[in-house]
Structure 1
Amino acid sequence: MDMENTTQMTDLKENKFLNVGLLILATLVIAKLLSALLIPQSKKRLPPTVTAWPVLGGLLRFMKGPIVMIREEYPKLGSVFTLNLVNKNITFFIGPEVSAHFFKAPESDLSQQEVYQFNVPTFGPGVVFDVDYSVRQEQFRFFTESLRVTKLKGYVDQMVTEAEDYFAKWGDSGEVDLKYELEHLIILTASRCLLGREVRDKLFDDVSALFHDLDNGMLPISVIFPYLPIPAHRRRDRARKKLSEIFANIISSRRETGKTENDMLQCFIDSKYKDGRPTTDVEVTGLLIAALFAGQHTSSITSTWTGAYLLRHKEYLSAVLDEQKSLMKMHGSTIDHDILSEMDVLYRCIKEALRLHPPLIMLLRSSHSEFSVTTREGKEYDIPKGHIVATSPAFANRLPHIFKDPDTYDPDRFAAGREEDKAAGAFSYISFGGGRHGCLGEPFAYLQIKAIWSHLLRNFELELISPFPEIDWNAMVVGVKGKVMVRFKRRQLSID
């Protein structure tokens, strides 16, 4: 009897488990059918997903290096694919064929604000990513007005003066770390053109130290936890407060005395919103900090790469020297805005260095609505609302179907007749972004780098004596790793 009861109980348990199993299976089948019937057809065209371990696998692959991950996945998954990042999905668009919507979409569809919120503690309240889109557009108008050609011509005179004064201290010969030298010259130039004479002449050391603390407060962890109470963030916040006090005094002095200067600071002081409201001291300070952050690192990094490549490739070094000789025969030793604009060979050499080494390796947006994209192979994908959408200048600038021998330094690829960046259509070259959010400081950056290198080329013989530099992938703004040692000798006679 006990054995019979035991057998019956076992049968009941097995039947119970079987019934539960069948119920679960039936539920899954019904859910799948309902999903197919109720979810829009577009949901069946999601981009392929990067293979990774559950939960943290996607994050680990991203933190290992997004460029490494893209290099591994692009050949397998194509130009559109999604990475699951814990509670977020990042969908990558690689190449001009799929990037048009990324660059041209209105803010209501693809927004910068959410993904760049980590900048707010550094830039400060009430500016750029701490305001809604309409206000941000007006603030970008202030940037545009401060970078008009009439303003740039005055800035160039200041750039040239800073370069002359800086390199006058080099002596007749020696060895220098070119990376270190250019970083310091760029911050001097930026201080004069952007922050104003008061900072450059009297407060440079103080302000430079404060910007150093601000800069060091922008860490990879800051992107995820910008207000984490760590020492670097506390120093950042103290520096931000002190900078506000310094600029409040300068702004107040200029307003009270009526004294004006030809610098970006003055442009921001004089700017007014469409409703007639003038900018506040807090806004002016925040806009200046944003401008300096946008330009300082990128210009010094690109200046360094330009020099490294020119000194490695003698044929292009000879070409830019010949261009300088030609310009000096026409204009003498003068360098101004118009003469810098004639330096086409030097321009192409800078542009090629920037193609190979864009300082911002990732551009991000937040998707507010679903949209579709078609790859160059004809595959159609639907990108869901809520995805982070990303593109990578560092990878897209080296696509072999757009740029011949893409890993080779070849400035002539941009010369008339080739123009590889235009042959494949818009957004083939995205070192400065593009579309609605293209870099406003691009003309300023080229003029600054040209002013520095035209002076160096005319006045010094240079030789790269350290190994060709490597890329510092660990930096927030990806630049040059280690020192770039150069031996210099001052030219005793003019270049011609």
Structure 2
Amino acid sequence: MELDTDKLLKTGLVIVATLAISKLIFSFFTSHSRKKRHPPTLQAWPPLIGSLIRFLKGPVVMLRDEYPKLGSVFTVNLLHKKMTFLIGPEVSAHFFKAHDSVLSQQEVYKFNVPTFGPGVVFDVDYTVRQEQFRFFSEALRVNKLKAYVDMMITEAEGFFSNWGESGEVDLKEELDSLIILTASRCLLGREVRDQLFDDVTALFHDLDNGMLPISVLFPYLPIPAHRRRDRARVKLCEIFSNIMLSRKHSGKSENDMLQCFIESKYRDGRQTTESEVTGLLIAALFAGQQTSSITSTWTGAYLMKYKEYSSAALDEQKKLIEKHGDKIDHDILSSEMNVLYRCIKEALRLHPPLIMLMRASHSDFNVTTRDGKTYDIPKGHIVATSPAFANRLPHIFKNPDSYDPDRFSPGREEDKAAGAFSYISFGGGRHGCLGEPFAYLQIKAIWSHLLRNFELELVSPFPEMDWNAMVVGIKGNVMVRYKRRQLVLD
């Protein structure tokens, strides 16, 4: 009996030892294997700050340099943070589809809080933010857009009536002025458009100029641009509080986004506060005004450079005049200007104003590249993609650096051939841009009017991109010679 006990003990020890060794071997190889699955990391000199310097100089330039070497998934060290880029639809689907509990906007866009203000968008939890996005959606429903289109057309007609029979203008400056007029009327309200336009415009410029690349990392850094930003927001709060109080006392109700936000209620019945309304308005104008201005200018520059496309867009306008006369409304703009739509969409593909989209990873996940490599993305990384770079991938878009609106025409549709998230100028998935329909309507309203009423010629060099701001704009002036005309039907 004692012998059997010794044998059993020895056998048990062998089994335990074997299991322990097997576990160690398994852990070693599993750990070794998983380490190999982490994305490659950009090596930069000096350590710790080398990648940060390159990033601040221009993330798209960095992507262009490193994508051929590192591939569609790689990590960049930014001081104490790690940012992993996912470039292309094959690896970015998770980025666009994931719930905020997995990939969150709030942490990475917290730098917007000093601009938008407390209690709105990225200063609230996911549930409240979704309700506030619902307020935006309700303010941009089709019945609202139809009323906004009438305002857009009225503003465009009034603005261009001030042009002479012929002359030269800086198109970038002109379109920027027109779009902020339109945005003021549709979004901020009649009071701002008619009485406070100059004051509010100057304050919004201070807000805009307070959004710098360094603001992403240090939004409260006590620099002059940030101090002007903070003063501007305080003054804007005062202006909109007075407007809201005046409307309340007079009982007047206007057809604009301001009124929508004033009347918005959370699901628990709580009314929006004056501070929240102001913050939501700032966010709306911030998201739309500058981006639409930039895209309108790029659209015009390309139409003037490539006569075959301006001729096609002009022919489309002639057909619409034959069909509808001088009438332009929401339905005509949204469904009967397909040539112009493709011209705008292609300008946006080449020059999306928002060059980077970011999320904070709250859990591990993995992605698989086109060539079958699978990488693990660790919890805690900032995850990013770049519309400016991804929109020019040659395996999706033929001759990707060329302006070719026909790539979106029926039967070709390069943006759909490669699957979802191939074209991401407006983002996509859970957080696609709510203002996309508004933007297209606004730009179409402007360019349908210009095509019908003016001959245009670009007299300055073709514009270049200005990479020195968070919203990538256009360098210098865009000088255009115009001559008034009455569109003659064939």
Q: TM-score, normalised by structure 2?
A: 0.93
Tell me what 1:346 maps to. Answer: 340
* Aligned amino acid, residue 172 of structure 1: E
Shift of 1:42: 3.4
Aligned runs of 1:77-226 on 2, under 5 Å? Answer: 77-226=70-219
Tell me what 1:228 maps to. Answer: 221
**Given the superposition, is the C-alpha separation of residues 40 and 51 from structure 1 closer, same or farther in structure 2, using an over 3 Å criterion?**
closer
Deviations 1:296-343 (A, max 9, x none): 110000000000000000000000000000000010011110111210
Shift of 1:41: 5.3
1:389 matches 2:383: yes
C-alpha contact 2:211 2:469 (8 A) present in aligned 1:
no
Shift of 1:436: 0.5
**Given the superposition, is the C-alpha separation of residues 38 and 381 from structure 1 closer, same or farther in structure 2, using an over 3 Å criterion?**
closer
C-alpha contact 2:318 2:487 (8 A) present in aligned 1:
no
* Aligned amino acid, residue 90 of structure 1: M
C-alpha contact 2:390 2:422 (8 A) present in aligned 1:
yes
**Given the superposition, is the C-alpha separation of residues 377 and 37 from structure 1 closer, same or farther in structure 2, using an over 3 Å criterion?**
closer
* Aligned amino acid, residue 197 of structure 2: F
% of aligned pairs identical? 80
**Given the superposition, is the C-alpha separation of residues 273 and 410 from structure 1 closer, same or farther in structure 2, using an over 3 Å criterion?**
same
Tell me what 1:402 maps to. Answer: 396
Structure 1: distance between partners of 2:41 and 2:489 = 57
Structure 2: distance between partners of 1:400 and 1:334 = 41
C-alpha contact 1:459 1:495 (8 A) present in aligned 2:
no
Shift of 1:495: 5.6
Q: 1:256 aligns with which of 249, 269, 278?
A: 249
Secondary structure at the residue paired with 2:359?
A: strand
Shift of 1:39: 5.0
1:379 matches 2:357: no
Aligned runs of 1:22-33 on 2, under 5 Å? Answer: none
* Aligned amino acid, residue 136 of structure 1: R
Structure 1: distance between partners of 2:426 and 2:413 = 17
Structure 1: distance between partners of 2:217 and 2:25 = 38
Structure 2: distance between partners of 1:395 and 1:478 = 13
Shift of 1:258: 2.0
Structure 1: distance between partners of 2:133 and 2:487 = 45
C-alpha contact 1:458 1:494 (8 A) present in aligned 2:
no
Tell me what 1:243 maps to. Answer: 236
Structure 1: distance between partners of 2:219 and 2:474 = 25
Q: 1:443 aligns with which of 432, 437, 448?
A: 437
Shift of 1:64: 2.6
Shift of 1:33: 9.2
Structure 2: distance between partners of 1:84 and 1:215 = 28
Q: Which runs of 5+ in 2 are unaligned?
A: 1-23
Runs of 4+ in 1 over 3 A off after TM superposition: 32-44, 492-496
Tell me what 1:411 maps to. Answer: 405
Tell me what 1:16 maps to. Answer: none
Tell me what 2:42 maps to. Answer: 50
RMSD of aligned C-alpha atoms? 1.5
Structure 2: distance between partners of 1:339 and 1:38 = 60
Secondary structure at the residue paired with 2:40?
A: coil
* Aligned amino acid, residue 285 of structure 2: L
Aligned runs of 1:292-307 on 2, under 5 Å? Answer: 292-307=285-300
Structure 2: distance between partners of 1:37 and 1:126 = 49
Shift of 1:295: 0.2
Secondary structure at the residue paired with 1:175?
A: strand
Tell me what 2:414 maps to. Answer: 420
Q: Which runs of 5+ in 1 are unaligned?
A: 1-31
Structure 1: distance between partners of 2:57 and 2:421 = 27
Q: 2:265 aligns with which of 250, 272, 288?
A: 272
C-alpha contact 2:452 2:487 (8 A) present in aligned 1:
no
Structure 2: distance between partners of 1:226 and 1:67 = 22
**Given the superposition, is the C-alpha separation of residues 218 and 495 from structure 1 closer, same or farther in structure 2, using an over 3 Å criterion?**
farther
1:429 matches 2:423: yes
C-alpha contact 1:48 1:81 (8 A) present in aligned 2:
yes
Tell me what 2:4 maps to. Answer: none
C-alpha contact 2:91 2:368 (8 A) present in aligned 1:
yes
C-alpha contact 1:458 1:495 (8 A) present in aligned 2:
no
Tell me what 1:6 maps to. Answer: none
Structure 2: distance between partners of 1:370 and 1:291 = 33
Structure 2: distance between partners of 1:494 and 1:202 = 38
Shift of 1:494: 4.4
C-alpha contact 1:459 1:494 (8 A) present in aligned 2:
no
Shift of 1:250: 0.8
The number of equivalent residue pairs is 465
Tell me what 2:325 maps to. Answer: 332
Shift of 1:493: 5.4
Structure 1: distance between partners of 2:254 and 2:96 = 35
C-alpha contact 1:362 1:393 (8 A) present in aligned 2:
yes
Structure 2: distance between partners of 1:414 and 1:131 = 38
Q: TM-score, normalised by structure 1?
A: 0.92
Structure 2: distance between partners of 1:235 and 1:52 = 35
Shift of 1:473: 1.2
C-alpha contact 1:81 1:93 (8 A) present in aligned 2:
yes
Structure 2: distance between partners of 1:376 and 1:39 = 25
C-alpha contact 2:452 2:486 (8 A) present in aligned 1:
no
**Given the superposition, is the C-alpha separation of residues 189 and 230 from structure 1 closer, same or farther in structure 2, using an over 3 Å criterion?**
same
Tell me what 1:4 maps to. Answer: none
Tell me what 2:6 maps to. Answer: none
Secondary structure at the residue paired with 2:456?
A: strand
Structure 2: distance between partners of 1:146 and 1:209 = 25
